[in-house]
Amino acid sequence: MAAWKLAPALATGCTVVLKVAEETPLSALRLGEILLEAGLPAGVVNIITGFGETAGAALASHPRVDKVAFTGSTEVGKLIVKAAAHDLKHVSLELGGKSPNIILNDADLDVAIPGAASAIFFNHGQCCCAGSRLYVQQSVFDQVVEGVAAAARAVKLGPGSIPPRRWVPWSPRHS
């Protein structure tokens, strides 16, 4: 998700300060390392960690920040707008969406079912764009539910630190 914010800013010649969620900083810190390894000059992307109430608020209200792009809760979005209002900086917000998926009876179910399953199971459903609502036309409802359930049963469970090729499916024998 950081790439969704970084790519357009970098492509237009901007530098970026990326304040990551306090619960999940490691992937963004690794992204920063990869960007440096790829040859991006130091200081073009700056990654900061910390709590929203302190680090995020300071960033949103800082006079040298020209734009704030935020994905997250509506409550925090309102705080960002207030912090950014003092100097009328540009703000773009993606707030509180529930990312619905719609499957109608004329859909190619061989494509729609894996797509719907991927939409919710991608990143363990911990993504603001996770397909957390699924609307299905009644005439194909049972097929879709059956297909998404089969996809869920096929998900391999295991620690996130173990590469997927080494995951062992959970079963009562392994607990």
Residues catalogued as catalytic: 94, 128
CB 134 within 8 A of CB 101: yes
d(CA 162, CA 140): 37
User: Half-sphere exposure (CA, 13 Å, Cβ side) for 159?
Assistant: 2
69 Cβ contact list (under 8 Å, min separation 6): 5, 9, 91, 92, 93
Give 3-state DSSP helix, strand, coil % of the chain, rounded to 5.
50, 15, 35
72 Cβ contact list (under 8 Å, min separation 6): 21, 94, 95, 128
d(CA 61, CA 81): 9
